[in-house]
Structure 1
């Protein structure tokens, strides 16, 4: 069981905990399991981030509480624990532990229309757009999926026959690999798997940092 020392893996209890939390997302359930969550989820995630900091920069762990101000869903807790490493808001490398196991990704989440406008301008430009198209194809070939909000129709200002219309429909771009809960999740090998995936994502993340992201 990990503490603030070296990363030893994510105990499988964490996956089971989030599966149960999806069914009983209450303050009572959370409070009863919080000490074990700190030991088997939060502390290993902190240790993982510490191990990867020299190569990828410091990571921010997201709070377990959901923001309920503008949500019809009043469930108080997120059903996963995530961390984001990177210098710019919303951009960088991502790791998540939840009921479906380990998810690793990279790219950016849009926080404003201006973010999306910069992204689409870079997709539209031949040099940066063709590079992104190639990077996306390579990641898809190695098991990553593209996720993020997108339009069902073409965005205003772009031709219907644009060669990169599918990318232009996107408001943001994240490439994710879903590992599930293999046996190695509870061992130090999980660090190697996250590091290797983040290295594969480095070209995409660097593309985002060059063409889209704005420093806080």
Structure 2
């Protein structure tokens, strides 16, 4: 395993071109670029973080198009995910817009979502989550996730945390974009620091998302 030395410019160029020509012909002609500029660095990056966060799943580059209207065959980014619970954990990706990190839960079953909402409603646990999110969003993280347009059934629309209760999934993301650090070995410590900072959110979800 090679040590992580950064994502080369070729990785971003590869995805920039793939967005314009998402075909098997292009992919086969640039397979080696993907392997050396994208896949190998991502494997090295996640390996360098595994001692603290755990082993990552590096996603396949192929899209599942069986039930999709969009039949383009390849993903336009390379992602990796460290699971800490069902659909919950740490994320990093590289694509044409550069590098991005994330944390949170990207889906929740009915019982898990109900237990998360129960915690949000309860004053002590809900206030703890608000404090965690306020700290992270004030330092550059963006709150995202799928949300209901209306209040979830059974919850008061006037509840002080109704915006959080509308979430069906809840994620925090941070973009590094084209910052020079993404092309250097120092990206490992950048991701490590941001994942560490966001760990209180991951741990809050782990404690309260009961199956």
TM range (shorter): over 0.9
How many Å apart are 1:23 and its aligned residue?
A: 1.4
2:47 is equivalent to residue 63 of structure 1:
no
Aligned partner of residue 160 in structure 1, secondary structure: coil
Q: Aligned pair count?
A: 211
2:110 is equivalent to residue 113 of structure 1:
yes
2:156 is equivalent to residue 159 of structure 1:
yes
Compute the TM-score of the two structures, normalised by the length of structure 2: 0.95
Alpha-carbon separation, structure 2, partners of 1:92 and 1:18 = 25
How many Å apart are 1:111 and its aligned residue?
A: 4.7
Kept in 2: contact 1:119–1:172 (CA 8 A): no
RMSD: 1.3
Partner of 1:136: 133
What are the equivalent positions in structure 2 for 1:56-205 lying under 5 Å apart? 56-205=53-202
Compute the TM-score of the two structures, normalised by the length of structure 1: 0.93
Alpha-carbon separation, structure 1, partners of 2:210 and 2:192 = 22
Structure 1: unaligned runs, 5 residues or longer? none
Aligned partner of residue 127 in structure 2, secondary structure: helix
Aligned partner of residue 146 in structure 1, secondary structure: strand
2:37 is equivalent to residue 40 of structure 1:
yes
